[in-house]
């Protein structure tokens, strides 16, 4: 089986590593606009060869993991280049504009709109790891627009990688992901910004930072090249989540100003229910 990875960083590289483990006789080509990334992926054994768009003609599977602004411009070209029997999958964190971009493409049936919710704060081929996708949710949008035999081909791979599959329409995906992913990244970036600005006057602030700060600010290490286009494409939903988040911060601030620590406790205690939600335990009244 021939696999082509477009974007051989953390997401694409990790997919390639797991794919090779599942299909050891496969040939994996890598395409990346950054030549150093391609060479590094080859050196690390993540890919078997450096490819180009002509490679797509003989690819059985194409996995596209590039910033979403590049995805909207490149995806039609990718579909132009693949064979009728190839399935093209993406890993974009937004779905509405991406699906709209290829809606009228002659090979729309070859495209499976995916968002595997997996990753770390690191980037590049060196960040690729085995097992990144195990136990992770993969959201698939507009599955009915993909040829059934190509759906089956992709789902077999996802199942072997032990992903959980959810089906969702693009609008719902972008709205929900703004809350559970995009907002958390903005929060992390802005917390990091706040502390960095404070550190200019208080040089020892980072000496006092514990594991709580480190885990909360972890996402601020993420690539602005990847996240700026995500915020741009999902601007409307991101603004809505920010407005709600800012309102909650303002409410908490007023409780502190008013010395209303009984309700400070209640706010935190009620939010503790998130532990049950994340473990999949139904909430009881």
How confident is the model over 48-96, as pLDDT tens digits?
999 999 999 999 999 999 999 999 999 999 999 999 999 999 999 999 9
Cα–Cα distance measured from residue 70 to residue 65, given in angstroms and rounded to the nearest whole number: 10
Q: Set out the domains of the chain in order of their start, with CATH numbers.
A: 2-170 (3.40.50.720), 172-278 (1.10.3660.10)
270 vs 157, more confident: 157
What pTM was estimated for this model as a whole? 0.85
Which residues 6+ apart lie within 8 Å of 88 measured at CB?
62, 64, 75, 78, 79, 82, 110, 111, 112
Res 35 pLDDT > 50:
yes
Of 10-14, 93-97, 104-108, 222-226, the least confident: 222-226
Res 285 pLDDT > 60:
no
Mean pLDDT of the 168-197 span: 91
Cα–Cα distance measured from residue 96 to residue 113, given in angstroms and rounded to the nearest whole number: 10
Tell me, what's the pLDDT at 173?
A: 97
């Amino acid at each position: 089986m021939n696999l082509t990875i477009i974007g051989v960083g953390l997401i694409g590289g990790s997919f390639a590593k797991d794919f090779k483990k599942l299909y050891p006789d496969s040939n994996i080509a890598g395409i990346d606009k950054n030549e150093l990334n391609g060479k590094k992926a080859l050196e690390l054994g993540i890919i078997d060869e450096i490819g180009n768009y002509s490679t797509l003609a003989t690819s059985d599977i194409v996995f596209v993991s590039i910033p979403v602004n590049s995805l909207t411009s490149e995806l039609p070209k990718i579909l132009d280049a693949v064979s009728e029997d190839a399935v093209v999958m993406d890993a974009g964190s937004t779905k509405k504009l991406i699906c709209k971009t290829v809606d009228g493409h002659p090979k729309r049936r070859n495209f499976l709109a995916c968002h595997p919710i997996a990753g770390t704060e690191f980037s590049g081929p060196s960040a690729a790891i085995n097992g990144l996708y195990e136990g992770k949710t993969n959201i698939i949008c507009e599955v009915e627009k993909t040829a059934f035999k190509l759906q089956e081909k992709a789902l077999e791979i996802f199942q072997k990688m032990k992903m959980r599959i959810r089906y969702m329409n693009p609008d719902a995906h972008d709205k929900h992901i703004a809350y559970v992913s995009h907002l958390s990244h903005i929060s992390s970036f802005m917390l990091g910004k706040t502390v960095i600005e404070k550190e200019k006057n208080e040089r020892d602030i980072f000496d006092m930072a514990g594991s709580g700060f480190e885990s909360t600010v972890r996402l601020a290490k993420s690539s602005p090249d990847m996240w700026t286009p995500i915020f741009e494409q999902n601007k409307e939903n991101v603004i809505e989540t920010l407005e709600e988040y800012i309102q909650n911060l303002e409410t908490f601030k007023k409780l502190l100003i008013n010395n209303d620590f009984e309700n400070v406790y209640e706010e935190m205690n009620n939010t503790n229910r998130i532990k049950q939600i994340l473990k999949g335990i139904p909430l009881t009244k």
